[in-house]
Structure 1
Amino acid sequence: MMKIYEAILDILVKMGTATIPVIYKEMSEQQSSYLRTEEQIVEQAYIRSLISRNKEIFSLKDGIVSIRPEREPIMLTVVMYGYPGPERRIKVDFKTNSFTYFEWHLDSLCQGSLIAPQPGSVEHFKKQLYSFNCWEWQGDYQAEGIIVDGTTWSVKLETKGNKFESGGIDSFPKEWKDFCRAITTLIGKEFPCGPHA
């Protein structure tokens, strides 16, 4: 069952903005299980409370609920490489609902499939992105000690209200493995987390 928080995000991603009664109505029409917890039926007051508690993502002004501009993704660019390769780059454009994936190998004899992968959904990936809190990642992650042939990565996230950049060498945010799994699902091809993630 989808969590109520995820259902609200889903509705706002599709509609842009909505009132609490409209969100409640959409949830009622989509699936009644959205509106039930284990012990009680969820009312509009609970939805309002949930939105008010999540001010870092939701904005409630004059009865209109929206995703805060600094949390509304427009473009995401991820780069990851290490010696001897490969270098992987993905660019997700949330405005056009599309992505590009590029993989470059130093070894010309590298084994690899040339068959186009079966991609996932950009909309689904966008909903997952909120749970990774990329906008709260540190700017620089570094493993302790001397690093030889480490995995280098960078993430640039542009939202309607801000730009966030993060990167590192052999050190990653706690959400990194789930983030890489979501990218794997999106591109339809393994996107490894790195050796120490």
Structure 2
Amino acid sequence: MDQYRQLTRMMATIRGSLGPGCTIVIDFAAGEIYWELSEQGIVAEISPRPLTGMESKLALVEDLRNCRIFNWHDHYVDLGASEGTHWSLEIEWGDQRKRITGLNAYPAEWKQFCGILRKWSGRAFGFRIFSGQIYRTVLYHYRRH
């Protein structure tokens, strides 16, 4: 059976050593996408978005297939880096689970993957998350608590 069509849940996270982090959860069963921004464990913003209709789910699955996420290695590490951008991807399908992680190193399809997450969540994901207004929003929220 096709792993991509069996997808039940996917969670992608990216964060810098000292900055904010972003998580996108795609719940295929519930038909929802959640975008979350956090700083040191404090959630600054959560943005749910419905994934409506079978056509939308199939289109998202095809986008992910084009990124070949099931072919990615388990770990991507820049051996010269001890700090930097950490990321992870957890994929669930059927009764199986795969976790992929990275530190300053990425699969060849990473930029395409980030673009797909931005397209479907309607929110930023990737390196741009660590600059500009989003970072200032997280700092403001963090300092208030």
Is this a same-fold pair by TM over 0.5?
yes
Matches within 5 A, 1:16-55: none
The answer for the alignment partner of 1:56 in structure 2 is: none
Call closer, same or farther: CA 1:118–1:93 in 2, change over 3 Å: closer
1:175 aligns with 2:109: yes
1:127 aligns with 2:59: no
2:19 and 2:69 map into 1 onto residues whose CA distance is 25
1:169 to partner: Cα distance = 0.3
**Does the 8 Å CA contact 2:33/2:51 hold for their aligned counterparts?**
no
The answer for the alignment partner of 1:86 in structure 2 is: 20
**Does the 8 Å CA contact 1:73/1:157 hold for their aligned counterparts?**
yes
- For the pair shown, which has the larger CA radius of gyration, 1 or 2? 1
Matches within 5 A, 1:1-197: 68-71=1-4, 72-105=6-39, 123=57, 124-148=59-83, 150-160=84-94, 162-193=96-127
Deviations 1:154-177 (A, max 9, x none): 101111253221011000111110
Q: Kindly tell me the number of residue pairs found equivalent between the two proteins.
A: 121
What is the TM-score normalised by the length of structure 2? 0.70
Normalized per residue, the structure richer in strand is 2
Q: Secondary structure at the match of 1:183?
A: helix
1:98 and 1:118 map into 2 onto residues whose CA distance is 6
Structure 1 gap ranges (5+): 1-67
What is the TM-score normalised by the length of structure 1? 0.53
Query: Over aligned residue pairs, what C-alpha RMSD do you find?
Result: 2.8
Deviations 1:116-142 (A, max 9, x none): 698776523222111111111111110
Deviations 1:72-118 (A, max 9, x none): 21100111111322111111011121111110135x9xxx9x7x698
Amino acid at match of 1:140: H
**Runs of 4+ that moved beyond 3 A:** 116-122
2:106 and 2:10 map into 1 onto residues whose CA distance is 17
Structure 2 gap ranges (5+): 129-145
Q: Secondary structure at the match of 1:147?
A: coil
Structure with more contact order per residue of length (Cα contacts < 8 Å, sep ≥ 6):
2
Q: Secondary structure at the match of 1:135?
A: helix
